[in-house]
Structure 1
Amino acid sequence: MRADRLVSLVLLLRQHGRLSATTLARELEVSTRTVLRDIDALSAAGVPVYAERGRHGGFTLLPGFRTELTGLNHDEALALLVAGSRRGAQAFGLGSALASAMRKVVDALPEGQRATAAGAARRLLIDPETDALARRLVTEELPDAVVTEVRRAVFAGRRLRIRYAAAGRDPEWRTVDPIGLVTVRDQGYLLATRAGADRTYRLSRVLAAEELAEPAQRPEGVDLDLAWQERSRRFRAGGDQVTVLVRVDPARREDLVGSAVAVLAEGGDAEGGAEGRLRLEVTFQDPRHAEWALWQLAASAEVLAPQWLRDSLHDRAAAIAARYAAPSPEPTPSA
């Protein structure tokens, strides 16, 4: 236990620079007296940790001192950092790097621990491809070359040229200043600016990407969580957006949610009868998007409001029914 704590203490100082005994105690969940004893133990073992006095003082490591897990390359280390979700790593094109990094981690373990860890890992299943109702979870397929180029430009702070296929539009080339990458419900997004205006691009719609030589025009520091919340808020407040109350078969819930901009409310449907359907309040980009999304669900969903959307879907269904009401005017193809 103490050996693990000493390693954690060194890593905390490596990652944060200077920390007070009180902060270290809070992070390690021990007393400040224990922290001071651990500092003495590290110093005695040759780790160059020393105290800085004063109001903003604390403990720090000698500049340049580092501990390394040898053998990990940049992408493998990055994959481990986002490995809280296996599909999160895949969304950023790091699935193969994650597998490679984990093999190196296992190989670096002592022989006895290696066998124990491998056995324990077989007893854990994280983020399976199907849920408890045997519904397959759909993960977007992203070309490795495209995601790698996007990721490289984000990290290098260089401008990016992308060929983007926006919904309902022909693909076109755009030059953007990349800010960061976000994954939500297994869908990856590029946060960027274009001509100074905030833009959000879905990675699955980036058909090609090219990192440019000129530096990106972007702030040095960024809070991606705050930036995503702000963009989501502005997107939901868009003037053309449509809010729809819909009753849906639970087996098609993910299809509905995956096509919507946001889910505002969700619960069981008291009037759903024996079907056990769910009632959701969701938003879509515009009326055309709403009609398209609900049409894909066919009889698995029923729009409860607004009435104009019910009428539109009814008219489309009636037109299709009328088209197929009569026998086909063409002869039946021969076998």
Structure 2
Amino acid sequence: MRADRLVSLVLLLRQHGRLSAAALARELEVSTRTVLRDIEALSAAGVPVYAERGRHGGFALLPGFRTELTGLSHDEALALLVAGSRRGAQAFGLGAALASAMRKVVDALPESYRAVAAGGARRLLIDPETDLLSRRLVEEDVPDAVVAAIRRAVFAGHRLRIHYAAVDQPPKWRTVDPIGLVTVRGQGYLLATRSGADRTYRLSRVMAAEELDEPAQRPDRVDLDRAWRERGARFRTGGDQVRAVVRLDPARRAELVATALAVSAEEADADGRLRLEVSFQDARHAEWALWQLAADAETLSPEWLRASLRDRAAAMAARYGAPA
């Protein structure tokens, strides 16, 4: 790992010209003391790195120095394969590897292309942290050690032991046969089988993970896209799902459709409002989604959902009807 860090340090200095110890520490995700030790190691190995004193000083390489140490590690190559989504790399614990790999890619470019590529990259923004309404996208935090163990088991084809906390249940250990990893909107999932049955585990709910020596019982080839679609279809048609009939202002249709699991029927009423039959994951999901639409939506059935929304609205009216 230190060898990779030393290569990354050299590439950072080549690409930026001069950087302070603090800036290098931030890029490499280490302490400034570690950076200083690495600088000493590079100097001892003959790399022409020198320090510039003063307010705008830092470390730099002698002009014209070039290194051919641009080989990609396994994780860096893997990170590039999922680099279509920066958040995908983060979800799989490959954020640092992606940053290191991209430094090597930039360094390998012909000098005439390097400035053009860097300038072009600054004019592209993919998956910002907030949308136009300043709503932050929720990214799940999965410990690196956990996701690394899961990743190793997936690639090695070994069974996996996970300490998993299902919704509204205490964590418990499970032994599974891992199939693959999926990321959706910054949330990571492990697709696996357990005792031959399909299972899907959310990475943020895995408290600990251990790769076992036993081979996983799984097919040699897998179509993850198809597997994900099939599991999604089963999820939408099973469990504690709620089906509701809703009258809706057409202007809010896209918002409801984006939130609901599915729309099974739709027609227009005489007054121009839409009547939709929609499915939600459970009672809490249904109440939350329809509450967001306020008076632009009216729940016609089931009666318990209509009553729940009415009681919530009455409580809100009572709260704001009193003086502050």
Normalised by the length of structure 1, the TM-score is 0.62
Specify the alignment match of 2:301 in structure 1.
306
2:106–2:114 contact (8 Å) kept in structure 1: yes
Alpha carbons of 1:307 and 1:121: their partners in 2 closer, same or farther (altered >3 Å)?
Answer: same
Structure 2 distance, partners of 1:226, 1:320, is 44
- For residues 1-335 of structure 1, the aligned pairs below 5 Å read 70-238=70-238, 240-244=240-244, 262-264=261-263, 283-287=279-283, 289-291=285-287, 293-294=288-289, 297=292, 304-308=299-303, 309-315=305-311, 318=314
Give the AA of the match of 1:89: A
Q: What is the Cα deviation at residue 266 of structure 1?
A: 12
Q: Deviations over 1:73-110 (max 9, x none)?
A: 11111111111111122221212211111011001112
Give the AA of the match of 1:71: G
Structure 2 distance, partners of 1:158, 1:75, is 18
Q: What is the Cα deviation at residue 112 of structure 1?
A: 2.1
Alpha carbons of 1:98 and 1:282: their partners in 2 closer, same or farther (altered >3 Å)?
Answer: farther
Q: How many residues align?
A: 251
Alpha carbons of 1:75 and 1:96: their partners in 2 closer, same or farther (altered >3 Å)?
Answer: same
Structure 1 distance, partners of 2:117, 2:312, is 57
Q: What is the Cα deviation at residue 191 of structure 1?
A: 0.6
Structure 2 distance, partners of 1:239, 1:151, is 29
Structure 2: state its 5+ residue gaps: 1-68
Alpha carbons of 1:212 and 1:295: their partners in 2 closer, same or farther (altered >3 Å)?
Answer: farther
Give the AA of the match of 2:299: L
1:294–1:301 contact (8 Å) kept in structure 2: no
Alpha carbons of 1:270 and 1:104: their partners in 2 closer, same or farther (altered >3 Å)?
Answer: farther
- Structure 2 counterpart SS, 1:190: strand
Alpha carbons of 1:192 and 1:127: their partners in 2 closer, same or farther (altered >3 Å)?
Answer: same
Structure 1 distance, partners of 2:255, 2:198, is 31
Alpha carbons of 1:134 and 1:286: their partners in 2 closer, same or farther (altered >3 Å)?
Answer: closer
Structure 1 distance, partners of 2:83, 2:245, is 36
1:244–1:303 contact (8 Å) kept in structure 2: no
Structure 1: state its 5+ residue gaps: 1-68, 328-335
Specify the alignment match of 1:63 in structure 2.
none
1:265–1:281 contact (8 Å) kept in structure 2: yes
- Structure 2 counterpart SS, 1:88: helix
Alpha carbons of 1:124 and 1:131: their partners in 2 closer, same or farther (altered >3 Å)?
Answer: same
Structure 2 distance, partners of 1:86, 1:265, is 34
Q: Deviations over 1:225-255 (max 9, x none)?
A: 11111111222221632234666997x959x
1:264–1:282 contact (8 Å) kept in structure 2: yes
Give the AA of the match of 1:287: A
Alpha carbons of 1:90 and 1:245: their partners in 2 closer, same or farther (altered >3 Å)?
Answer: farther
Structure 1 distance, partners of 2:170, 2:321, is 35
Give the AA of the match of 2:183: T
RMSD: 3.9
Structure 1 distance, partners of 2:124, 2:295, is 34
Q: Deviations over 1:151-171 (max 9, x none)?
A: 111111111111222222222
1:88–1:183 contact (8 Å) kept in structure 2: yes
Structure 2 distance, partners of 1:188, 1:237, is 22
2:245–2:302 contact (8 Å) kept in structure 1: no
Normalised by the length of structure 2, the TM-score is 0.64
- Structure 2 counterpart SS, 1:226: helix
